[in-house]
Amino acid sequence: MPTEALRKKAQQLDSEDPLADFRNRFEWPQPKGVPSIYFTGNSLGLMPKAVRKAIQEELDLWASFGVEGHFEGPHPWYSYHQDLKPALAELCGAMEEEVTPMGSLTQNLHFLLANFYRPQGKRTKILCEGSSFPSDFYMLDSQVRWHNRKAEHEIVELHPRKGETFLRTQDILSQIEALGEELALVLMGGVNYLTGQRFQMQEITEAGHKVGAIVGFDLAHAMGNVPLMLHNWNVDFAAWCTYKYLNSGPGATAGLFVHKKHHGNTPYRLEGWWSNKANNRFKMERKIDPETSADGWQLSNAPVMNMAAQRVSLALFQEAGLDNLHKKREALNLFLFENLEALKALFPNEGLGSLTPDDLNHRGCQTSLVCGENGRALFEFLESNHVVADWRWPNVIRVAPVPLYNSFSDIWSFFDITRRFFVSS
């Protein structure tokens, strides 16, 4: 029986894990009085315990100082977003002046496309994943409509080959080349939300630029998950949300990246008073003095209460160290593969498999398990055994063991519960 050996291995790996204690810095949901096995950090990251105090401090400032809170305390509201930038820049491999926390993901994509999608002459088409997150499709469709064009003409979707579950890099690059001078924009996820496939962002960017297109990424499932080097990869722009792997709470302030090469050259950028240079902002002059860095994409004053959660969470990433997190992510992946293979060997007829590439450079934390006919019943059994995972019809269970707070034993428990389901069904 491999499962006892794997249980021991999980304990061993946990005891050697330098990040093991970080799980105690988070609140663990206990909807039924028992701590969950939480595998949905790809959907809503857990709450860092220190968030309560950080938000309370801002509330106290507001109570004690009113409007003067903008210039009081250790993190004055006036420049609050600045405190988040070093960590955000490190997470996406950017210069600090290339990133800013702001808005929501879908809003930010709209703002970015206002400047970076300018269909003209032959160059009108957008290339995206065929399994994009629906919001990204709606965003793209409405952008195209807004330019008085038709989505069915302008949007080209990438689909895996028949019988395959994820896209081949070569097929993406060929499609870019084939679209050539008709291609205005490539907009893809960094990591696909459904399959967990990590795209080869550098190669895609190079191929897009070669035909004269702009290349942007939706990093909803990539920020805080996989290594990113947006600046060196020469990516034009990117946006992300922070409630998934970045543990900043529901609807938390999102963020964006604009490559330095575009700073000062974004004529169609939509602006507000926070696009004005900070030192002149409160002069309230009729004519804008535009901030050319990524900060100039902000329109409005910063939502401080919810940035407080992000500040605390980003500090945890810095404390843990990105290299350590990536190492552990890969080790969690390998241990998951080992458990999955052991279970498939025990129950070869249950239709268990994965949509996600096995290559560690083509995936992040997430594995999208596919199940046989009993998939939904398995999912419900997992739920009743305190596993929090994510179900997608018709037969996908997404699990994302994240290195900041998941353990090797969490993975073992997940597969042991699955084993018990197969034994009893």
Q: Which two tokens stand for residue 31?
A: 């909807």
Q: Which is nearer to ligand PLP, 105 or 185 (CB)?
A: 105
Q: Which is nearer to ligand PLP, 179 or 188 (CB)?
A: 188
* Smallest distance, ligand PLP to C-beta of residue 137, A: 9
Q: Is 48 in the site for ligand PLP (CB under 6 A)?
A: no
* Smallest distance, ligand PLP to C-beta of residue 408, A: 26
Q: Which of 298, 262, 290 is nearest to 116 (CA)?
A: 262
Q: Which is nearer to ligand PLP, 36 or 106 (CB)?
A: 106
Q: Is 385 in the site for ligand PLP (CB under 6 A)?
A: no
Footprint (CB under 6 A) of ligand PLP, residues 66-105:
104-105
The site that binds ligand PLP (CB under 6 A) totals a number of residues, namely 12
Q: Which of 365, 316, 415 is nearest to 37 (CA)?
A: 415
Q: Which is nearer to ligand PLP, 107 or 169 (CB)?
A: 107
Q: Which is nearer to ligand PLP, 136 or 416 (CB)?
A: 136
Residue with the two structure tokens 């060196």: 232
* Smallest distance, ligand PLP to C-beta of residue 298, A: 16
Q: Which is nearer to ligand PLP, 98 or 136 (CB)?
A: 136
Task: Answer left, alpha or beta for residue 124, where phi above 0 means left and psi between -120 and 50 means alpha.
Answer: alpha
Among 36, 106, 293, 306, binds ligand PLP (CB under 6 A): 106
* Smallest distance, ligand PLP to C-beta of residue 342, A: 31
Footprint (CB under 6 A) of ligand PLP, residues 185-224:
189, 193, 218, 220-221
Among 3, 11, 135, 200, binds ligand PLP (CB under 6 A): 135
Kind plus residue range of the DSSP H or E element containing 214: strand 214-218
Q: How many CB atoms lie within 10 A of CB 204?
A: 21
Q: Which two tokens stand for residue 180?
A: 């050539």
DSSP string, 103-167: S-HHHHHHHHHHHH---BTTB-EEEEETT--HHHHHHHHHHHHHTT--HHHHEEEE-PPTT-SS-
Q: Is 403 in the site for ligand PLP (CB under 6 A)?
A: no
Q: Which two tokens stand for residue 57?
A: 């401090």
Over the range 237-251, which residues count as b (16 or more CB within 10 Å of their CB) and which as e?
A: bbbbbbbbbbbbbee
Q: Which is nearer to ligand PLP, 189 or 216 (CB)?
A: 189
At residue 216's C-alpha, the angle toward residues 172 and 266, to 5°, is 145
Q: Is 252 in the site for ligand PLP (CB under 6 A)?
A: no
Q: Which of 354, 394, 65, 45 is nearest to 221 (CA)?
A: 45
* Smallest distance, ligand PLP to C-beta of residue 204, A: 16
Cα torsion angle, 112, 113, 119, 124, sign: positive
Q: Which is nearer to ligand PLP, 106 or 293 (CB)?
A: 106
Q: List interacting residues with ligand PLP (CB under 6 A).
A: 104-106, 133, 135-136, 189, 193, 218, 220-221, 241
